[in-house]
Chains A and B, each alone.
Chain A
């Protein structure tokens, strides 16, 4: 299996708007595949269809050779599809450790148990500690998520996705709103995960994209206008016109 993800002719309409217009795309096993495109191009809409939060109107999604087009979101997670949210979406009343712990527990199972003690699940908390000690949130374990900075929340998004042990990680703008140093740290973290899992990376930060991506696909008005290496994308006139020309890259 060389493709962890294969998307065929995916379509999604919102009323008259075609948000996903006949998208075909694949992510090779082990690769970091970036998806770029202007605001409103339909990147998040695509991610949401891949993870099962939105249902496509037409088209097929294969994860590791399996048709997951009509599978509910939680089952896709079990098959190894992890995601982060563009607008952070966390358990705000819980601490950092409780957030990660619940993500580990969710994967580990026993979620219907009513006679155990959640604090007594040593393997869950050991793994939580392990995940956190390898992250920038190590000193923030007991902080309530509502009290975290934006950058810390973005970090937590990633750690929680990793806790589900994904084979394919869908990252929706992990650097959005981060300062330069924080972005660099995020790039390093993602680079460190290279090879452990495949990634589909949606990102506006071109520095990050060029630093990380093995291949890049460009989405404009719901259509993939090209897929190629960083150099190919940089030098493509259509991309310059549609995307790079309109923004400072």
Chain B
């Protein structure tokens, strides 16, 4: 059996993996979101309020929170259609800050004091959601839907001229990413049992992006590696105490210098397939 400390690490890793996937789905259409902590906050607060104040079962609360967050994803997705690259990233940071500030000042959910009263979820429940979500994304990756998503990322104009409604594709990606981030938020809330606006700041959003880029941004499986590295490395570096964050940072830079595409990439998998065929 896992010690409660180890179980905590697995739970943190799962939630980080979901966060990374939420960025991955959106980035796959060429849109970089640095505001997914905002969607996470919506999922965390709404699901907690539903379970604590309304008395709703957690699973239903998570589904509702994800749906509401998806609506916010749609709302953000529209202006995002007109923004590219850096400007879009800035706008999503703005969104994240708006959500955080909202909960900071929204007294019904505790404002700066935070919100508590949730019941602890078992690890298997968190793992269940994570495996389910990861499975959905990985299955979708093998469909023609995903080819359309990649086409939008590769060359949006050409995608339109090949008959694809790129607007719908990009909006759907934002909605899906927002929903996944909300699931991460809901699980986080029911694992830590206490949430406050500071839990959903800019660092959280960047952590998601970091895990995804580190692990490999061209396939969902990369996020598994990225989330695991991000959770485990600080643990392994425990002996270095004061220097551990610096060493961690240096390792990050090193990985990105050597493999800009992240630890895993699509071609790696392609090579493996080729290898099997040759032998």
Asked if chains A and B come from one complex, the reply is: no
Residues of B within 8 A of A (CB): none
